[in-house]
Each structure stands twice: as C-alpha cells, then as structure tokens.
Chains A and B, each alone.
Chain A
Amino acid sequence: TQLLEQSPQFLSIQEGENLTVYCNSSSVFSSLQWYRQEPGEGPVLLVTVVTGGEVKKLKRLTFQFGDARKDSSLHITAAQPGDTGLYLCAGHMDSNYQLIWGAGTKLIIKP
C-alpha cells in the first residue's frame, strides 16, 4: 500500500497546454517536496512546502500544499518541451528524516 498516491502516472500533452499533477494521502505530512528526475540522474529538488494551504511559485510551476497537509499539487502553465521529465512527490512524516515517495508522473510535452 502506497502512502502517497501520485496521479496521473503518465501525461503527454502539446506545448502551450496547462497541466496538474496530484499527490494524495490519507496521512498527514509535516512537509511535501516535489522533485524532477532526468534519465540517468538522481531526483533534483524543486520545492518544499511546509504549511497547510501554502502556495509556492517557480516561474511557470505552481505548487500547493493542502490545508490538512495530506495532499499537494503541481500545476504547470503553458508547458514547454523543456518541462519533459519525471516528476516525483515525496514527504516527511512526523520528525522522521526518511522520505516517503509517490510513484512519479512521466510528463512529455510535444512541440
């Protein structure tokens, strides 16, 4: 049983479209992180959200942490081919250093 359910698993859209990736749980997380991973490389941290209801923006990427700290979303506006990659959510529970991961969303942006 996965603690963090990430959806969709795969998304292929045209350049210029908007998209949202979701990360949901029935458990409370002290923080949620979003990573991007390229082939042959390790995950690279994009953002950390800590407070319920928090919204962070990174250029065309908007990250939101649910009010109850059980879910998070990543929204990309006007997607570009350079956004293609594997997006992963991961979180900390309580005061535990170990990260709990979603299965990832493989995103392809077609020119």
Chain B
Amino acid sequence: EAGVTQFPSHSVIEKGQTVTLRCDPISGHDNLYWYRRVMGKEIKFLLHFVKESKQDESGMPNNRFLAERTGGTYSTLKVQPAELEDSGVYFCASSQEDRISVSTDTQYFGPGTRLTVL
C-alpha cells in the first residue's frame, strides 16, 4: 500500500510568487493534516481536514495560505504571495477516522516539501 506522497519534494521561489503544494494521503484515510517546520523551530500544526471539510484551521498563519481538499482525496496548500518567513518544510499526514479516541489517532507522514523563498 502506498504511503502519503507529497509533491514537489523541493521548491525554490522568489518572494511574491505563488506556490502550490500537493499531498496525496493513504487511500481510505478521511483525516488529512498539514504541518510546517520552520528552520530551528518545532513542527507546528496548520490545519486538519475530515474528508473535504476543514475541521480545524487554527494553525494557518494568515490569509496568504489557502488549503483545499476537493472530493476528500488529495489536498493542495497554496501560498500566495510567498514571503521569506514561509520558508520551511511542509509535511502532510493522514489517518483513518477513529471515533473511539483522538489519543490513539495514528498519523502517517509524507516526506515533506522543502520550500525556500528567496
């Protein structure tokens, strides 16, 4: 079974440009998460989809970030316009819907997209 995949693996853009990151979750996983790690800092939550609905977007930094999950399958995260502080590694994760306990939710992570804004 294929794991979580992310595209591209690396992206270098200039300040003010637009970039779109894509995440393909594990087939059948209703939960999809985006996280970001800025250099020197801990990984931070961005948002959580359940199927096509945004369950929690409390971690989105500002309105330059737009996440979508059309049809409840793959997801995209668009940054427009990109700023220098957006540089970092963006991770996507997915998990099966677990109605018993959040505590046992097992998230499977993709390899990440390394974004560099110059």
Within 8 A of B (CB), among A57-111: 88, 90, 92, 95-104
For residue B56, CB closer than 8 A to chain A, the reply is yes
A4 CB within 8 Å of chain B: yes
| CB of B70 closer than 8 Å to a CB of A | no
Which of the residues B33, B91, B109, B111 comes within 8 Å of A97, measured between beta carbons?
B33
Interface residues in B52-67 (C-beta closer than 8 Å to A): 55-56, 58-59
Q: What residues of chain A lie closer than 8 Å to B110, measured between beta carbons? A: 42
Across chains A and B, the number of contacting residue pairs, with CB separation under 8 Å, is 65
Known: A2-B42, A4-B42. A42 touches B102 (CB 8 A): no
Cβ of B109 and Cβ of A92 under 8 Å apart?
no
- A interface residues, tally (CB under 8 Å): 25
The SS class assigned to the A binding surface is loop
Q: Is A53 an interface residue (CB 8 A)?
A: no
- B residues bordering A, Cβ < 8 Å? 4, 31, 33, 35, 41-45, 48, 55-56, 58-59, 91, 93, 101-112
Give Cα A40 to B104, complex, Å.
Answer: 26
Contact of B111 with A88 in the complex, beta carbons under 8 Å: no
Report chain B residues within 8 Å CB of A40: 111
A11 within 8 A of B: no
Measured in the bound complex, the distance between the Cα atoms of B101 and A45 in whole Å is 17
Residues from chain B with Cβ under 8 Å of A99 in the complex: 33, 35, 43, 45, 107
Chain A residue with the shortest CB-CB distance to B47: A98
17 contacts between A and B (CB under 8 A): A4-B42, A42-B4, A42-B93, A42-B112, A44-B109, A48-B104, A92-B105, A97-B56, A97-B105, A98-B33, A98-B45, A98-B58, A99-B33, A99-B35, A99-B43, A99-B107, A100-B45
